[in-house]
Amino acid sequence: MEPKIYIIGGGAVLLIGIILFALSFDSIEPTEWGLCYNTWTKTVYEDEIYAGGRYVIGFTNSFIAFPRNLRTIEFSDTPHAQGGSLKTRTKEGLSLGLELSFQYELIRNKIPKLYEISNVNFEQTFIRIARDTILQEAGNHQAPEYWTNRTQIGNTMREILDVELQHAYAYCRSLQIMKIILPDSYEQSIVDTQVEVQKTTMKGFEQQAEVVRQKSLVLQSECDQNITIIESSANAQAYFLKELAKSIASTNTLEMQAYVYSQAIDLLGFSQEEFSEYLFLRSVKDKDNATVVVGVDSAMIQVKG
């Protein structure tokens, strides 16, 4: 009987050991940080912050998860928002409503401190800090600034909120102003003002366009004038070159004729008078229907056309 009891007892111990070992595992999601928490002593081990994965931490311990990724807190009148739209007054006293959201990220090495001051309900702390900080900064601006300087106001709010959240062990990574609510009458006056500004801007653009058109016309006129001058200069130069060529050709022809005539006089043995008469008679002969009358005083040469 005793061996059986030992066997049964050993099996039970082994089974319990297996169960306890299986219960010693716990896991953290990739989008979470984990703190190891002792469920018996109700204490947190602050020496290590676990990233996503599966770990052996002992069956008396478990993980408390904190978000690792960016989380959004929204102030608006939509059902999913963590808080309603923020109500305050502008610097000049006009009622102002704001709908906005921001993204926060926990500071990893400060998570144990965060757990000490707010346990796992830290987001309510962030909402309270954000509401107070944003309302205070929103009242430092006049109403027109929310139209003309909206981006800068949002950047300033993010910077101030980031400083405040770091005191609560988180960063403010970004902030978006989604909706600005001002009195209807004031909004209409702002719209009318912006319309007039747009009209003035458009008028300025039209004037600039007209100046460009006028400059284009002047440039075109100057180009046309330059073209006319160039064409006139080219035509005059071409005419000059043509007449010069004719003059040179005539000069060369006369020089060649004079040379040929002098050679003919020497070859024929004529005098200048005789050669002139020869040329005259030759020219008459070359005329069609020409008649030469010989032996008659004061004879006339008749050329019948």
Go through the domains of the chain in sequence order and give each one's CATH number.
20-67 (no CATH), 71-182 (3.30.479.30), 270-303 (no CATH)
pLDDT at position 24 over 80: no
Residue 293's pLDDT is 57
pLDDT at position 201 over 60: yes
Q: In this prediction, what percent of the chain has a pLDDT beyond 90?
A: 35
Q: Which of 15-19, 138-142, 274-278 has the highest mean pLDDT?
A: 138-142
The upper half-sphere exposure of residue 224, i.e. CA atoms within 13 Å in the direction of its Cβ, equals 6
More confident residue, 216 or 304: 216
> How many beta carbons lie within 10 A of that of residue 26, not counting itself?
18
Residue 173's pLDDT is 96
Q: Which amino acid is at 229?
A: I
Residue 83 contacts residue 49 (beta carbons within 8 Å): no
CA 222 to each of CA 66, 212, 228, 289: distance values in angstroms, whole numbers, following the listed order = 76, 15, 10, 63
More confident residue, 178 or 202: 178
Question: Rounded mean pLDDT of 95-115?
Answer: 94
Residue 75's pLDDT is 96
Q: Which of 67-71, 225-229, 287-291 has the highest mean pLDDT?
A: 67-71
Question: Rounded mean pLDDT of 14-20?
Answer: 57
Residue 73 contacts residue 84 (beta carbons within 8 Å): no
CA–CA dist 288, 135 (Å, integer): 122
Place of tokens 């998570």: 111
CA–CA dist 242, 209 (Å, integer): 49
How sure is the predictor about 71, in pLDDT bands with cuts at 50, 70 and 90? very high
Residue ranges of alpha helices (H) inside the chain are 2-23, 111-118, 122-138, 145-148, 150-166, 184-268, 272-286
How sure is the predictor about 303, in pLDDT bands with cuts at 50, 70 and 90? very low
More confident residue, 257 or 189: 257
Residue 27's pLDDT is 83
pLDDT at position 213 over 80: yes
pLDDT at position 151 over 80: yes
Mean confidence (pLDDT) of the chain: 82
**DSSP 8-state symbol, 162:** H
Residue 200's pLDDT is 81
Residue 305's pLDDT is 45
> How many beta carbons lie within 10 A of that of residue 100, not counting itself?
22
Question: Rounded mean pLDDT of 10-25?
Answer: 57
**DSSP 8-state symbol, 83:** B
